[in-house]
Amino acid sequence: MSATLTRPAWTNEFEIETIDKLIARHAPHFPTTRLQEPRTLTTPQEFENFYRFRIAGAAHDLYIVQVCSKVIDQIPDPELQLFLSRQIGDDGAHAQFTRQRVWELSGHDPIDKIKQEVQKHWDFMGDLPIRNWLGFMAFELHYELHIVAQLILNSRTATIADPETSKFASQTILPDEAAHRFGVLAWWQSKYDKAAPAQKTEMAAQLLELDEEGQRRRNPYLKEHWQIVHLATGAQIQGLAAVYDAWRKEVLAYFLDLPIAKLPQLVSVNE
């Protein structure tokens, strides 16, 4: 495996440029900017759909908190521990905001439903996130990096929103999540870029295998989740799978410092 040697810096701009390039190639019906200002929730059904969508969001964040909390004590690397302490704090705050917003709007604390949804993540992911450090890296890739193109396209095409949630997302969640992506990448590079060539080849092969396992484990959830997003926000999900697959390839190629063409055939979200 040979290195590309010319990786651009991973920045927000690089993410957007890459996603726009993938849209043009795989799903040109998606817009490159937000289509319209979403309208607010109105009917009782819209509120119900919104609660389901936000409970799933809170569960995603709380699951991250639970996984990272287990790992922080298992991998005795101070660099990783400092990063994870931030990720745990941030994603915990995202889950808590979301829980309280649903509580405020619905009059009911959704914590039991959030707990049930978190359990589903544990069930379908199995021990992958806590099996070894590369399994944990595959978990971070799936829960922080691979979903980014989908999240951006959802926000560009959403037609219904809760303004309080949108404000918290743009002011707090977006910058936090960018920091999480940069942190995951920095930690990975601190190991990978220093490894000897033979060790690098081995690490790359193992990470790819674990990431593929993660994809197979997450496929049914992702397809169901996109329906929930579509129902709640009106976001367009047709053609999302092709962009998701292509974005995941870009992420893996960047992390492994390989040209896309050198990656093996990967599991699709549609499988």
- 180 makes contact with Fe ion (CB under 5 A): yes
Between residues 135 and 183, which has the closer beta carbon with respect to Fe ion? 183
Query: Of 53-61, 121-129, 147-155, 253-261, which part binds Fe ion (CB under 5 A)?
Result: 53-61
Do 266 and 212 contact (CB within 8 A), yes or no? yes
Least Å distance, CB 143 to Fe ion, is 7
Between residues 111 and 151, which has the closer beta carbon with respect to Fe ion? 151
Instruction: Give the number of residues written for the chain.
Output: 271
Q: What are phi and psi of 3, to 5 degrees?
A: -80, 155
- Measured CA to CA in angstroms, residue 233 lies from 56, 72, 155, 218 at distances of 13, 35, 9, 22
* β-sheet bridge partners, residue 263: none
Least Å distance, CB 162 to Fe ion, is 17
DSSP string for 161-173? E-HHHHHHIIIII
Between residues 110 and 200, which has the closer beta carbon with respect to Fe ion? 110
Contacts of 13 (CB under 8 A, 6+ apart): none
Q: How far apart are CA 109 and CA 55, in angstroms?
A: 11
Tokens of 149: 């193109």
Between residues 94 and 101, which has the closer beta carbon with respect to Fe ion? 94
- 250 makes contact with Fe ion (CB under 5 A): no
Least Å distance, CB 152 to Fe ion, is 15
Size of the site for Fe ion (CB under 5 A): 5
Query: Of 76-84, 154-162, 176-184, 234-242, which part binds Fe ion (CB under 5 A)?
Result: 176-184
Helix (H) or strand (E) holding 40: strand 39-40
- 61 makes contact with Fe ion (CB under 5 A): yes
Q: How far apart are CA 122 and CA 183, in angstroms?
A: 23
Query: Of 153-161, 177-185, 196-204, 212-220, which part binds Fe ion (CB under 5 A)?
Result: 177-185
Binding mask 190-229 for Fe ion (x = CB under 5 A): ----------------------------------------
Least Å distance, CB 173 to Fe ion, is 6
Between residues 117 and 257, which has the closer beta carbon with respect to Fe ion? 117
Binding mask 84-103 for Fe ion (x = CB under 5 A): -------x--x---------
Q: How far apart are CA 60 and CA 140, in angstroms?
A: 12
Between residues 23 and 65, which has the closer beta carbon with respect to Fe ion? 65
Instruction: Tell me whether residue 269 is exposed, middle or buried, using C-beta atoms within 10 angstroms of its C-beta: 0 to 12, 13 to 18, 19 or more.
Output: buried
Contacts of 87 (CB under 8 A, 6+ apart): 64, 68, 180, 183
Query: Of 27-35, 61-69, 186-194, 218-226, which part binds Fe ion (CB under 5 A)?
Result: 61-69
Query: Of 23-31, 55-63, 76-84, 202-210, which part binds Fe ion (CB under 5 A)?
Result: 55-63
Contact positions toward Fe ion, by CB under 5 A? 61, 91, 94, 177, 180
